[in-house]
Amino acid sequence: EVPYLPIDPQDVGRSYEAIIRINSQSGKGGIAYILQEDYGLNLPRNLQVEFRSVIQDITDQEGKELPPARIYDEFLKTYVTQPGARLEFVDHTTVPKGAGAGGVRSMTAEIIDNGRKVTIEGEGNGPIDSFINALSKHTGMDMSVLDYSEHSLHQGSNAAAICYMEVDAGGKREFGVGINTNIVTASLLAVLAAANRALQSRDA
């Protein structure tokens, strides 16, 4: 039973994807459905709402509907790959801070900032907390995690994980997404992506 369609499109040889056409009137459910069914992405609700506005701006400017592949490409460019972004992730190491530190860990991370490799350091209760501390000191922008979720993109031991991060960055909510076979690295990539979006807004 299909509550919003007069007929089941599969009865006439059409998929739901073909029925859900992405244009400026499409709700977050339609866009989220496409990304989940075609690409295995399970976007948190707040990210669905924000990405809907991204797609609506594009469709309003171009005056045409966007195919699923274009939707996915825009998602990656906005939240994952971020061409031309200020910061890039290179590597990191974490070690216990020392006896009596109560589980606090110190992190040393290598990032690229405007084309120059730099080393940043921070500490916290885990790798995400430590990395946010290091980035906050490096950028001069206070950051904290508001929401976090992750899931596997495929099955098997070599499956990539995707992490969705919602952060407060300088008083503004930003989203970032990371994809990597290592869940910790995926999380740090997501933090960095959110930081890039905040820096883009701050430095504009």
pLDDT in tens, 50-93: 999 999 999 999 988 889 999 999 999 999 999 999 999 999 99
Q: What is the pLDDT of residues 116-146, one digit of tens each?
A: 999 999 999 999 999 999 999 999 999 999 9
| Amino acid making up residue 16 | Y
Nearby residues of 76 by Cβ (< 8 Å), 6 or more positions away? none
**Could you write out the DSSP letters of every residue in 68-104?**
HHHHHHHHHHHHTS-TT-SEEEEEEEEEE--TTSTT-
The model's pTM is 0.85
Where in the chain are all domains bearing CATH 3.30.160.270? 9-79, 87-203
87-203, CATH topology level? Double Stranded RNA Binding Domain (3.30.160)
Token pair belonging to 4: 């919003």
9-79, CATH topology level? Double Stranded RNA Binding Domain (3.30.160)
Nearby residues of 121 by Cβ (< 8 Å), 6 or more positions away? 106, 107, 108, 109, 134, 137
Contact 151, 162 (CB under 8 A): yes
